[in-house]
Chains A and B, each alone.
Chain A
Amino acid sequence: MSVTLDIRLKRANKVYHEGEAVAGVVLLVCKEALQHHGISLNMEGLVNLQLSSKSVGVFEAFYNSVKPIQLISSTIEVAKAGKIPGGKTEIPFEFPLNTKGNKVLYETYHGVFVNIQYSLRCDMKRPLLAKDLSRNCEFIVHSQPQKAKVVRTPVNFTITPATLQNTRERSLLPKFLVRGNLDATNCVISQPLTGEVMVENSEVPIKSIELQLVRVETCGCAEGYARDATEIQNIQIAEGDVCHGLPIPIYMVFPRLFTCPTLETTNFKVEFEVNVVIVLHDDQLITENFPLKLCRV
């Protein structure tokens, strides 16, 4: 006797905001009537923090993982113990997405050391000799749009051997001059990062120009805090020895789930940066870093 349990959300994109209701149906498909001891539905929002082994050591990282922070949790009973007729049964449900007290619903974010996740879990208890059924379904929360207006201030940059820090032998570097600008560093998350970069001249041919999107996650705990920067994605915007003097567009879409509005709380921080990376033909890397401030409007 086979039965499938599924949760279908009403919204195709599964995106909800605080104050809205998460609505959908629990879908049961079975061939014949089915006895059960109750179906319940649980909504939960959690922040998982993980300490990086780099900053605290392997064992500490393993043991000291910080307790998850619960953002929201509620349970409802979808059906009392009884029988479900054979065929397809749809049981509609609705959860109000409201927080208790002064808690804030952070935006869904899948990171390395910080994860903010919202899920629905449907459990069906069944009589003896039959396994209980359970089904998970993640939904996405977008935080409330920011009230303040975003002022986009363009950022110009120039990269030459002289502007570089962190080099051992400045004199060994080939000559080059790269100019560019970002249209803004305080970005709206739903809109791409834009700008231009132009190679004015370069002694050594250029192999590639890339945009590296980096997340900076900070977890605070009893022993202090750990700050780690990891790459989210790397987008190539120029390949090969590009035409000098021709502006090349900078364009990057912020990936969903892996980015969220810049977040700063008492326990953890999530920030983003972008690196403009110029790879020279001899595989030398030239990187220019720009902290970003993401927001949602």
Chain B
Amino acid sequence: MAAVQWRSSGRNYDAELQRCRPEAALVEFGDYHPLKPIMVTDTKTRRGARKGSTSSSSSSSSSVPPDPLSSLLDGTDPLSMFAAASASEPPAMSHSASTGDLGRKRNEKEEEAVGPDFEPWLSKRGEILARFTTTEKLSINLFMGSDRVKAPSPGSSAVSEKVRTRLEELDDLEEGSQKELLNLSQQDYANRIEELNQSLKEAWASDQKVKALKIVIQCSKLLSDTSVIQFYPSKFVLITDILDTFGRLVYDRIWTMCSDPRPLSDSFTVDDVSDTAKETCLNWFFKIASIRELLPRLYVEAAILKCNRFMNKCGIQETLPRLTAMIRGIGDPLVAAYARAYLCRVGMEVAPHLKDSLNRNFFDLLGAFRQIGSESVQNQLVLQRVEVPEYLTLYSPAVNWILQCIAYRAPEPLLTEMMERCKKLGNNALLLNSVMRAFRPEFVAARATDFIGMIKDCDEAGFPKHLLFGSLGRSLACADPPESERLTILNEAWKVVTKVRSPQDYVNCAEIWVEFTCRHFSKREVNTVLADVIKHMTPDRAFEDAYPQLQSVIRKILTYFYDFSVLFSMERFLPFLDMFQKDSVRVEVCRSIMEIFIRHQEEPTRDPVILNAMLHICKTMHDSVNALTLEDEKRSLALLIIGFTRMVSFGRDFEQQLSFCVEARATFCNLESVLVQLIHTVNQLAMETSRVMRGSHSRKTAAFVRACAAYSFITIPSLSSIFSRLSLYLLSGQVALANQCLSQADAFLKAAVSLLPEVPRSISVEGKHRSSESFLLDFINNFLATLLVVPDHPEHGVLYLVRGLLNMVQDYTWEDNSDAKVRVYISALPLLAAMSQETYLYSIPKVDSNETLYGGDPKFLSEINKLCETLIGQILDHLKTLCRDEQSTRRQGAMAFSLFGVLLAHGDLRNNKLSQLAVNLWSLSHKHGHCEPRVSVRTLEYIRHQAQQADMTHLSDTVQRLALQSCA
């Protein structure tokens, strides 16, 4: 078989190209074209729009093909349309909803009644829990029924059996036990309360309604206990959760009682409610009305306030004022304030239109304010060692909430009236603070100067002033005060803020005011503010406890100053960044800066200030990478850094750009994808140079592109991914060739070839192990295509690189049972055939390929042919081994067919032996019937078509034999 003789068929690429090219059919404007309908309509609408807005001539607008993407974006995009539709759509589903999620559904509906602009309790909840904490030990005191006065029952006949059992049940549910849990930590306390919440649900589910009620009563009783007063707001939150659960359970139960046979509509009236349901409801109210203690009676009734809907139309309207008045009976002002907050909350949920009781609540609150100064309160504070300012802040969640309820969609005069009332109370700072927090920011902003005046007048000893300024700042961050007053406001506010002693208090307040400063002032003021923050936070490393606030400062600055030349020209910005000394925080800050940079930096920059600073920031991010860093983390960091390097451009100063890349390489050596990007950048730089020089390098630029090649050559080995190395070698080799750096190109390609044996048989792709074979084949094919234009090295033999590659392929340990090696051989044949042409298919300008080097030297040609023959021999040997089983015959057929294809396209079939070989291969590929008949038919058609051409007549002979074979 070794006697196969290779003759490459001569090709005239130009002629072939001409033949293949379909006749250019000119499409007349207005003719049918598949893409046309879209374009026509778009052009029209756009043209119309443009005429209106700009004065460009209509001819130019019609010649510009409209961009289909942008035209799509002109209209409303489907997503936002969808969102808009769903927002306006009324929740019609709630009627048919099952009882299970009714509570939730109804809740949604309520929210609607209040409107989405009302900040819900839920968002306050977490804030309160996080803010009011304690390290002191807490206790829960649960008297399960022991304090209930037992009705004296002298004779069993006196009380009916049923009533008696009821009473007993009430009394002895837990055997009249008094449970007192002492020494609970805050977490234990919360857990206990959650347990109670669970047991409430369980009791309810197992139909122990009395037990459920008792749990609720006991829990609300806990609210009258003000020991560990710092924790009171959080306790309130935890316990009102239970009350909410209870209210929901009762309401849902009565609701389901009426839902037979069909569910009640959400807007039901009293007449729709069945008698049994009404009776049950009434029972609850009677039961609650007989609760002994004031506080549980109040809270529990408030919790089931909504159930009044079942009883009568104006029940809620009558109950709310009554409960409001009832709160007057609570002596402790803090307990009373929170009870009011709860009532307002329930009121807002159930009947947001009843504003009167809200106002009533507030006025009562004001009336009871002098209680704060009363002896009993003061004694308590002394006992618990709580300072007055701290005590006063305990009120703010409750007062804030009440005021928020009042201020919600309230008319301006009402707000003014409220403010006047607060003023009358001697500028009570606590109230002032709540007013600023709860009222509309616009309202506050318009009177900012007034507020500052009031804050100044406040008593030093009471509510901390920095909190007042904090609240003011928060309002001003959302709404703009009159322009003329802005600077005064800032000055006045900062004067106070800067005097705050405690770094924590200071930074909390400063953080808020940074937003106002950024919003209305230039970098100079912001810089001053930053300087002040640095000054306050540096002593004693106070910044260590304030990272979240400092981070927020950075975020706020970045939202307003995203022009990085301005940003970095603030002298204090970088020193500010230096305060982030904890690694994780610092990286996070750098990351957020980079994100903003990538989003907003549109033009490439060469500004040394920006570059230096950004390089510093990126270096920080890069330096955080260590062995433990997650792959994902690395990737996102690398992406950010790459985003930065892409934004660096020195214009025509290529050398500077290269030296930047050198620096970047040194800086970011741990992130591989950054290095890859840098190599690409340098390659691009080389090509850019060649473009500028229009292909012919001067001595200086030639040296420069060689430097680029050197850069790539020494960078690539440091990559660990073998395929990035291979492809970068190849790419850099191509770039080097394009820039006439022959020896560099040679070195790249040689390096690639010598790297081949190291390619592992399997690589991990996205965490999974996969065979590397297909990647390797792809690469080799790509490589072969490049080899056509690489001229032979004068000192090495003919086809040095091709031989080198094929040797490597032969020695490579391929997978068992794999045809990969033979596939490489088959694909090497077209290359060799292409090399033996007189003019090559493609070439690189200003580089002489082998065609010119050898000029069609017969020795060169015979060398090629010999190589081909060896390859074909190897291929045929391999084919012979494949005949054992079904699987291998299938592979045999496929490979025989592809070799046949190569022979047909590149072999000179005038040669009898070759044509005989082709015929044999054809029959071999069809022997086992694994061949796709359609492909065979099309191949035959192609050959027949080819045979009609003048110099291809010999094919008709071959095709005859093939056709016969295929028929047989």
Q: What are the residues of chain B within 8 A of A206 when measuring CB–CB?
A: 331
- Which chain A residue shows the least CB distance to B326? A249
Known: A12-B275, A233-B290. A110 touches B328 (CB 8 A): no
Give how many A-B residue pairs fall within 8 Å (CB-CB): 118
Whether A239 contacts B158 by the Cβ 8 Å rule is no
Binds B, one of A46-54, A77-85, A98-106, A122-130: A46-54
Q: Is B796 an interface residue (CB 8 A)?
A: no
B717 to chain A, nearest CB (A): 81
Binds B, one of A153-161, A252-260, A289-297: A252-260
Q: Is A246 an interface residue (CB 8 A)?
A: yes
Q: What are the residues of chain A within 8 A of B153 when measuring CB–CB?
A: 112
**Which one of A50, A65, A113, A239 lies within 8 Å of B294 (CB-CB)?**
A239
Q: What are the residues of chain A within 8 A of B581 when measuring CB–CB?
A: none
How far is B301's CA from A253's CA once the two chains are assembled, in angstroms? 13
Known: A209-B329, A243-B371. A238 touches B292 (CB 8 A): no
Whether B158 contacts A115 by the Cβ 8 Å rule is yes
Q: What are the residues of chain B within 8 A of A235 when measuring CB–CB?
A: 290, 292, 297
Q: Is B155 an interface residue (CB 8 A)?
A: yes
Known: A112-B152, A235-B292. A248 touches B328 (CB 8 A): yes
Q: What are the residues of chain B within 8 A of A234 when measuring CB–CB?
A: 149, 292
- Which chain A residue shows the least CB distance to B159? A110
Known: A241-B374, A253-B289. A138 touches B160 (CB 8 A): yes
How far is B204's CA from A254's CA once the two chains are assembled, in angstroms? 27
Known: A112-B154, A246-B367. A253 touches B290 (CB 8 A): yes
A146 to chain B, nearest CB (A): 22
Known: A13-B279, A251-B322, A251-B326. A243 touches B331 (CB 8 A): yes
For chain B, residues 131 to 174, give those with C-beta under 8 angstroms from any C-beta of chain A: 149, 151-155, 157-163
Q: What are the residues of chain B within 8 A of A248 when measuring CB–CB?
A: 325, 328-329
Q: Is A181 an interface residue (CB 8 A)?
A: no
Whether A112 contacts B328 by the Cβ 8 Å rule is no
Whether B278 contacts A12 by the Cβ 8 Å rule is yes
Whether A255 contacts B160 by the Cβ 8 Å rule is no
Q: Is A247 an interface residue (CB 8 A)?
A: yes
Whether B163 contacts A110 by the Cβ 8 Å rule is yes
Interface size on B, residues (CB 8 A): 47
How far is B290's CA from A253's CA once the two chains are assembled, in angstroms? 8
A191 to chain B, nearest CB (A): 12
Q: What are the residues of chain B within 8 A of A65 when measuring CB–CB?
A: 155
**Which one of B276, B332, B367 lies within 8 Å of A12 (CB-CB)?**
B276
Q: Is A19 an interface residue (CB 8 A)?
A: no
Known: A247-B328, A251-B322. A12 touches B159 (CB 8 A): no
Whether A253 contacts B286 by the Cβ 8 Å rule is yes
Whether A241 contacts B160 by the Cβ 8 Å rule is no
How far is B294's CA from A53's CA once the two chains are assembled, in angstroms? 34
Q: What are the residues of chain A within 8 A of B367 when measuring CB–CB?
A: 243, 246
Q: Is B370 an interface residue (CB 8 A)?
A: yes
Whether A240 contacts B376 by the Cβ 8 Å rule is yes
For chain A, residues 30 to 84, give those with C-beta under 8 angstroms from any C-beta of chain B: 48, 50, 52-53, 61, 65
Interface size on A, residues (CB 8 A): 43
Whether B275 contacts A13 by the Cβ 8 Å rule is yes
Q: What are the residues of chain A within 8 A of B161 when measuring CB–CB?
A: 136
Whether A249 contacts B328 by the Cβ 8 Å rule is yes
Q: Is A143 an interface residue (CB 8 A)?
A: no
Q: What are the residues of chain A within 8 A of B16 when measuring CB–CB?
A: none
B745 to chain A, nearest CB (A): 93
**Which one of B154, B286, B329 lies within 8 Å of A237 (CB-CB)?**
B329
Whether B276 contacts A241 by the Cβ 8 Å rule is no
How far is B285's CA from A253's CA once the two chains are assembled, in angstroms? 10
Chain B positions 742 through 782: 1 when the CB is less than 8 Å from some CB of chain A, otherwise 0:
00000000000000000000000000000000000000000
A7 to chain B, nearest CB (A): 13
Q: Is A87 an interface residue (CB 8 A)?
A: no
How far is B165's CA from A138's CA once the two chains are assembled, in angstroms? 15
Whether A11 contacts B275 by the Cβ 8 Å rule is yes
Whether B158 contacts A113 by the Cβ 8 Å rule is yes
In this complex, which of B224, B290, B325 has the most chain A Cβ atoms within 10 angstroms of its Cβ? Answer: B290
Q: Is A230 an interface residue (CB 8 A)?
A: yes
Whether B328 contacts A256 by the Cβ 8 Å rule is no
Known: A113-B158, A138-B160, A241-B376. A233 touches B371 (CB 8 A): no
Q: Is B266 an interface residue (CB 8 A)?
A: no
Whether B157 contacts A48 by the Cβ 8 Å rule is yes
Q: Is B330 an interface residue (CB 8 A)?
A: yes
Q: What are the residues of chain A within 8 A of B374 when measuring CB–CB?
A: 241
In this complex, which of A11, A12, A52, A138 has the most chain B Cβ atoms within 10 angstroms of its Cβ? Answer: A12
Whether A237 contacts B149 by the Cβ 8 Å rule is no
Q: What are the residues of chain B within 8 A of A238 when measuring CB–CB?
A: 294, 328-331
Q: Is B368 an interface residue (CB 8 A)?
A: yes
Q: Is A205 an interface residue (CB 8 A)?
A: yes
Whether B368 contacts A243 by the Cβ 8 Å rule is yes
Q: Is A286 an interface residue (CB 8 A)?
A: no
Q: Is A226 an interface residue (CB 8 A)?
A: no
- Which chain A residue shows the least CB distance to B163? A110
A108 to chain B, nearest CB (A): 10
How far is B336's CA from A248's CA once the two chains are assembled, in angstroms? 13
Residues of B participating in the A interface, judged by any CB pair closer than 8 Å: 149, 151-155, 157-163, 224, 274-276, 278-279, 282, 285-286, 289-290, 292-295, 297, 322, 325-326, 328-333, 335, 364, 367-368, 370-371, 374-376
6 closest pairs, A vs B, by CB?
A: A240-B331, A238-B329, A12-B275, A253-B289, A12-B279, A241-B331
Residues of A participating in the B interface, judged by any CB pair closer than 8 Å: 11-13, 48, 50, 52-53, 61, 65, 110-113, 115, 117, 136, 138, 205-206, 209, 230-231, 233-243, 246-249, 251-253, 255-257
Q: A13-B279, A48-B157 are in contact. List 17 more A-B contacts (CB 8 A).
A: A12-B276, A12-B279, A112-B151, A115-B157, A117-B160, A136-B161, A209-B329, A239-B224, A239-B331, A241-B331, A242-B331, A247-B328, A248-B325, A249-B325, A249-B328, A251-B326, A257-B163
14 contacts between A and B (CB under 8 A): A13-B275, A50-B158, A61-B154, A110-B159, A112-B152, A112-B153, A233-B290, A246-B328, A248-B325, A248-B328, A249-B326, A251-B322, A255-B286, A255-B289
